[in-house]
Every structure is written in structure tokens, then in C-alpha cells.
Amino acid sequence: MKRLIFILSLLPLGLWAQESPWQFQGYLKYLGSYSHLNANFYPESLRPGLKVDNYDQLIHNRFDLKYYKGHWSGALSMRNRLFQGASPAQGDAFMDALETDAGLVDLSFLYWRSDEVLLHTIFDRAWLQYEFKNGNIRLGRQRINWGINTIFNPNDILNQYNFFDFDYEERPGTDAVRVQWFPSFDSQLELALAPAKEIAQSTAALRYRNNALTYDLQGIAGYFKDNLTLGAGWAGNIWDLGFKGEFNYYWPLNDLQQEAWVFSTGLDYVLSNGLYISAGYLYNQSAPQEGGIGDFGQLGAGQVLSPKNPFIFQHTAIVNSNYAFNPLFNGSFTLMYSPDAHSTIVFPSLSYSLSTNLDLMLAGQFFLSDNPIENDYWQWLVRATYLRLKWSF
């Protein structure tokens, strides 16, 4: 397998001519980050040994190899990442989380590790598809995206993602077999099965999509990790406002779990000057009723929560906006607020296209909450800033 990885990394870009059934592309990114932790959230006895200033560097390379010919198509995609700084210095906790492959087949490889450097590769796409009349069947590691809403997607029972992991635009895949059938131009029936090493931890579901009364509608029924689940979603308009939503209910098949509702909805609008604005709400029954400051740690890059428990708070309001200042310069701003401990997350970003294949991004993530150490005074917990340079080929 390591020999295959090496060969892929040396493939000449000119090998794939336009008339060839093969397509090859990818990118090389540098991401530098600095985060500052507020020591006031920790007891005084722990503050002397607390590392409050943390620096990280990440070199991130991706190769996407795709094949299209006749009824057949396929894809093989790999991520190569070199970590340097505070994250590798965390030791076994970070290494284990990085090396663990959640799929049925282990396609994660850790080559080299030191106190401050890690070199890691993972294949997040490896699938083969055959197309037949009115449908197709796909087998392998793939992304099965059933979500409709803008940020939180309860209907994505096979492929949840981490909104805060902005450096991973492609989002994770899952080892599955998927069959799609299109009875008509506006309807779709889809069956997906994602087996696990323990049968009870598998996922299998059926989705049906159609259009009615100017709305795109879908219904989902299936099995998710020892739970039965039912869900639905919609997308349409209320006057000039886009209106989306989705929900899932989980009924556990054992006494160790509890039933759960997950619901999200939102409105969005584009102003005449091109400013996009959306506002939404998430209800997550499985989250603790009172969020703790330690829950913010579950939002780190590379971590993905369960579709049964997709966020760290029960109630979350979201406001998001995007604006193109000109064709080369874009900005976005996201604000999340939960009444649980008055928790607030602010996520601004700016991106600029330096050339056709070269982009620069500046982003920040700021987490605020009531401080139980300081008489529940509301203040920031973590401030993180990121600078990214991306070259696409």
C-alpha cells in the first residue's frame, strides 16, 4: 500500500490528456494557525503548567484521480498531511484520533512521528460505479450527502461533517454500497448500506425524493447503529425567502441509548447587492441541557460528531452571511449562539484569489462562554486565527 501511495504522488500531471478517460487534479496548501487559551477558565492550581499560546503548521496535499468511460466510473482520492507544532505535541491522544479510520477498511497510514511532527496519509475516496437505465450502483468509500439545510444536516445519517473544519472542503466519506434509481425526472429512490466491523454499528437507509407544491421533499427510513430512524426534509420558498429544514427521530433498540430528535431549519435571502444572509436554528435532544466549556474541544479539526448528536448544545441559533466584494475578494461571517452557558461562536473569514490557481485565506474562530471560575462572567475562552495559502492544479 505504501508503494501505491508513493507511485500516486509521483504521477506526472501531463499524463492525463483531455481525450483520456482519466482525470487528475489536486492541491497543495499551507495552513498556519495561532490559538490563545484564556487561563481564567481553569482553577489557579492548574494555571502555572497550562500552555495558553499554541502554534501549528500544516502542509496539506490532495490527489484526486477519476475515471469515466461508458457505463463505468471510479475515483481514488488521498490526503497527505504534515503536522508541525502544538497538535502533534499533544502525544498519543492526537495521534490516535488522526490514525483511526472510521471505515470498514483501514486506509489510514501514519508514517512518521516525533514530539512535534507527524506525517499522515488517508484515502477518503475509493469507489467504483456502474450506470444502468434510470440509475446507478456505487461501491466503496464515497460521500453520501443527504442534507438539505445550510449548516446542520440531521438527514446526513451516513456522512456528518464538522462545519469548523474549513480546511477540509471535500468532507469525509464512508465505506458503503449505494443504489440510485430515478423513476422520473423529478423523483429519486436511493438505498445505502454502510457495514461496520460490528454489525450493530452498521447503517442502512432508504431515501425518496420528489417535488410537490414547488417544494423539494424527501423522506428517510432506516437503521443507524442500533437505532431505528425516520426523517424528512424540504427546500422551497416563502415569498422571496428560501426556506429549508430537516429532522430525524431515533428510536433505540437497546436500553443503553435514549430516543432523540434532531431538527434544523433556516431562512436565507440574497440582497440586490449580492449579500447572502441566512438565519437558522438547531434542536439537538441528545446534547446536555447545560453545555460545559469542555464541550468546545469536540469541535476541533478532524473530529466529527454523530448525526444523532451533531452539535454540543441542545438549542443553537445561527446567522451566516457571505459577500463578494469583487470577483477576487470574498468574505463570510458566521455567528452561533446557545442559551446553554450563553455560549457563542464567532467565525469570520476573508479570501482573495491571487491568481488563477492560487488563493489566500484569513480566518478566525472565537469561542465565548460563561466562566464558572469567575462567577459566571461571560468572556472568551479560545481565540484562534488561521492563514492559508492554497495552490490548485
pLDDT (0 to 100) of residue 90: 79
Among 113-122, 203-212, 260-269, 284-293, which stretch is predicted with the lowest mean pLDDT?
Answer: 284-293
3-state secondary structure at position 313:
coil
Whether residue 292 is predicted with pLDDT greater than 70 in this model: the reply is no
pLDDT tens-digit series, residues 227-274: 999 999 999 999 999 999 999 999 999 988 999 999 999 999 999 999
CA distances from 385 to 24, 33, 382 (A): 32, 6, 10
- Split at pLDDT 50, 70, 90, the class of 18 is low
- Residue 214's region, left for phi above 0, alpha for psi from -120 to 50, else beta, is left
- Residue 308's region, left for phi above 0, alpha for psi from -120 to 50, else beta, is alpha
Mean pLDDT taken over the chain: 91
- Split at pLDDT 50, 70, 90, the class of 14 is very low
Q: Are strands 203-212 and 22-37 parallel, antiparallel or unpaired?
A: unpaired
Whether residue 64 is predicted with pLDDT greater than 60 in this model: the reply is yes
Q: What is the mean pLDDT of residues 123-137?
A: 97
pLDDT (0 to 100) of residue 115: 82
Does an H or E element contain 97, and which?
A: helix 92-99
Which of 273, 283, 269 lies closest to 237 in space, CA to CA?
Answer: 269
Which residues, 6 or more positions from 154, have their beta carbon under 8 angstroms from its beta carbon? 147, 231, 246, 247, 248, 262, 263, 264, 307, 310
Q: Which one has a higher pLDDT value, 291 or 88?
A: 88
- Split at pLDDT 50, 70, 90, the class of 13 is very low
3-state secondary structure at position 211:
strand
Residues 262, 241: contact at Cβ < 8 Å?
Answer: no
DSSP 157: S
- Split at pLDDT 50, 70, 90, the class of 111 is confident
Bridge partners for 62 per DSSP: 27, 79
Among 22-36, 91-105, 249-263, 310-324, which stretch is predicted with the lowest mean pLDDT?
Answer: 91-105
pLDDT (0 to 100) of residue 323: 98
